Amino acid sequence: MTETYSLSDLAVALGKSVPYLRNLQVQIKADVPRRPERYPEAYVHFMRRVVALRMFHVPADEIAELFQKEKKILEFLHFDAMSDSPLWYLTAGDGAVRTERHLLLTGQDLGFPVTSGAIQCNLDFRERSPELFDGREMGEDVRKVIDLYLKLLRKIDERVKAERPVLLDALAWIGDGLMPA
């Protein structure tokens, strides 16, 4: 059985306060389990990445946009059909692994490199309510969403790369603490 976390446990695991995490969840439009439900370990990995991006001064609205694009990609590939959980987008994700096949925030392995252009869709076993027009007729396409995702990811990547030297300098500056020995 995987470990689960209360909001307080999540705050401790991430080294942040409960109000900070609540505010961040609201800003990025992250789902919050209802009490007494607890956060799965995958949620900790997800929020760890979100907190890290904020430490690199990536605006919360860009993180929210990236998160929404990841969920849209996963919906196109029918990952949402694999779980009834409100946190379906984290169900099969592995936040501890980062490869070209994994989405940044959710850690979902798409089964193909995100940048490759080749797409392997999952089977959809869930019955969906019919819509007047299908997604393709309305201009939706998984490749289009992946392209938008990659464009935003590259923008965020540039910001992180620019902040990296500042963060490394700050970490070196504190060394063993701020107080003289």
What residues contact 9, with CB distance under 8 A and at least 6 apart?
38, 39
Give the per-residue pLDDT at 146: 93
Give the per-residue pLDDT at 133: 43
User: 39: which strand partners?
Assistant: 5
Single pTM value for the model: 0.82
As a whole number of angstroms, the distance between CA 61 and CA 29 comes to: 9
Give the per-residue pLDDT at 1: 52
pLDDT in tens, the chain (181 residues): 568 899 999 999 999 999 999 999 999 999 888 777 789 888 999 999 999 999 999 999 999 999 999 999 999 988 888 888 888 888 776 666 788 889 999 999 888 888 876 665 543 434 445 554 454 443 468 889 999 999 999 999 999 999 999 988 888 887 777 777 6
| Contact by Cβ (8 Å): 56, 159 | yes
